[in-house]
Amino acid sequence: MGKYQRSRKKNGSGNAFMRFFRTKGGKITLVVFSVLFLLVGSGMCFVDGLFSGFNHVDRNSFGVDSGFNVNEEDESVDPNLPVNNDPSAMQFGSGSIISDSNILNILLIGSDTRGNEKYGRSDSMMIVSINKKTKQVKLTSLLRDMYVKIDGLQDNRINVAYGHGGPKLLADTIEKNFRVKLDNYVMVDFESFKKLINMVGGVQITLTQAEANEINNHPGTYFTNGETQRVKAGLNTLNGAGALAYSRIRHIDSDFNRTQRQRTVIEALLKSMKSSSAGTIWSVVSEMRQYVQTDLTNSQLFDLSMNSLSYLSNPLQQLSILASGAYQSENIRGMAVLVPNIEKNKALIWKFIYNR
């Protein structure tokens, strides 16, 4: 690396980098890479100095938080749901955990830390699958209300795995239930998410009347640190706090709609960044990298950056798990949860990611 740095000083390629970022192609490179890979925790890595800003933490270094409340009760239980207080039938998926050397699976975690919790809750969980051979990127959303088997704990919502054991226990839980190898993880907290939205000037989102009412009528539920934003039905320019509130709405419908809103924000963010200046995008990436925690290595980050345009030349494919007809709504220990048919959902994930 030292040799590379010396040669860069000698030939002035640092200035060449900046000239490139002012061109149309350079700006597109910044946009697509910063949106996709900042959201999955990579960030902009064309310049050596940015590598050092990431918080690299190995998955296996995370221990168990014994103080996390693993038996929380849901305050919004539907009394009409059937009750099942004996979830002993929950099992991990069958067969070997599969992988493919051409496919990199990155677990993207959006964390919401509350009070004195060590890890917080994984309110957003997605598997970003990058096919290095076909240059295809696929996004698998995992519903937080999914009730699964967790190693060493009582069966519970899948986000309890993160709250109790961080990225390691969450990744282990996904791997053992759906038998798919997760190569790396990336974690970004909600405060970082708000900073990102604000730095690009907000996002354009069209809200329904029900969504607007939910945000306006329950500011204590959706806003933190004294931040609020009044919204209306129709098109809104949401700031960081407003976009986060929109992403977290769930009481008016379901977790399925909630994950769709999260994907809508990502798409809107991409549009905002496309209209931002190269200088703004550069500032976003430089600022946000310090808030990203990941076990991706510098070499992996560099490889992702250099191939970002190729990866995004194909449309982003998406899958939501739980799949329709492959789960059952139940009330377990006072929690309204979704109990998956593990084998059906496993088969859908395998087909989606690996085409098996």
Q: Which amino acid, residue 274? A: K
Under the phi-then-psi rule, with left for phi > 0, alpha for psi from -120 to 50, and beta for the rest, what region is 115? left
Q: Of the ranges 9-18, 281-290, 325-334, which one carries the lowest mean pLDDT score?
A: 9-18
pLDDT mean across residues, the chain: 77
Radius of gyration in angstroms for the set of CA atoms belonging to the chain, rounded to a whole number: 21
Predicted local confidence at residue 302, as pLDDT = 74
Q: Kindly provide the residue ranges of all beta strands, DSSP E only, lying in 149-266, ordered along the sequence.
A: 156-157, 184-189, 203-207, 234-238
Banded pLDDT at 94 (limits 50, 70, 90) = very high
- Strand, helix or coil at 264? helix
Closest by CA position to 269, among listed 196, 207, 203 = 203
> Who contacts 244 (Cβ-Cβ below 8 Å, separation ≥6)?
190, 193, 194, 197, 222
CB of 205 closer than 8 Å to CB of 265 = yes
pTM above 0.75, yes or no: no
Is a pLDDT exceeding 60 seen at residue 16?
no
Q: Picking from 8-17, 95-104, 192-201, which range would have the lowest pLDDT averaged per residue?
A: 8-17
φ, ψ for residue 332 (rounded to 5)? -120, 120
Confidence (pLDDT) at 295: 92
- CA torsion sign for 339, 341, 342, 344 is negative
- Are 239 and 268 in contact by the 8 Å Cβ rule? The answer is no
User: What's the CATH number of domain 53-66+78-188+292-354, 3.30.420.590, 3.40.50.720, 3.30.565.10, 3.40.50.740?
Assistant: 3.30.420.590
Question: How do the domains of the chain map onto residue ranges?
Answer: 53-66+78-188+292-354
